[in-house]
Amino acid sequence: MEIRLAAPGDLDGWMALVEQVRDSFPGLETREAMEEHRNTVRSFMARQEAICAAESGAVKGALLFSREAGELCFLAVDGSCRRRHIARRMVERMLALLGPEREITVTTYRAGVPEGAAARAFYKRMGFEEGRLTEEFGSPVQEFRRPGNRNIFPETEA
């Protein structure tokens, strides 16, 4: 599995992955929303703020991040590839690009929402801490923050 910055040639494979997981993400319900996401991904790729996990020419993981905002904006892994640490490796790549001194935020489902249990546990393992409650795309979410000056690989911290 290769973890790398995504390129325009990855866009169709990226969108095939998003199509597979779109029911898990508020705001991707319509064809128009998917087209808007495609345009967003294209913009992130142009700014080198898109990371993919590629295997045998297929996109198996996708991550969007904002250098300016210090934000992890989107993270998805192909269901058939879970438990292979692909999400961890993509987040580690993002953290290496942003630098360990950067505070990073991400939003995910609030506690008690079954669809968000795995994501919440993952972000906590990656050193993120629960933050404020908010809404995105009409869905209640919680912000998680990863304070700066942390080891990029949290499992090796003392």
Read off the pLDDT of residues 93-117 as tens digits, 9 standing for 90 and up.
Answer: 999 999 878 899 999 888 888 878 8
Q: Supply the pLDDT for residue 157.
A: 44
Whether residue 155 has pLDDT greater than 70: no
Please tell me which residue, 114 or 126, carries the higher pLDDT value: 126
Share above pLDDT 70 across residues of the chain, in percent, rounded to a whole number: 94
**Amino acid present at 143:** E
To the nearest whole number, what is the mean pLDDT of the chain? 89
The pLDDT score that the predictor gives to residue 104 is 94
Contact 109, 137 (CB under 8 A): no
Q: Residues with Cβ < 8 Å from 35, sequence gap 6 or more?
A: none
pTM beyond cutoff 0.75: yes
Q: Are 49 and 65 in contact (CB under 8 A)?
A: yes
DSSP H or E stretch at residue 52: strand 50-55
What was the pLDDT predicted at 26? 79
Model confidence band, residue 17 (pLDDT cutoffs 50, 70, 90) = very high
- Predicted confidence at residue 11, as pLDDT, reads 96
pLDDT attached to residue 128: 92
Least confident of 6-20, 23-37, 56-70: 23-37
What CATH number does domain 2-156 carry, 3.40.630.30, 3.30.360.10, 3.30.1360.30, 2.40.30.170? Answer: 3.40.630.30
Lowest-pLDDT range of 53-57, 64-68, 125-129, 149-153: 149-153
pLDDT of residue 116: 83
Amino acid at 52: C
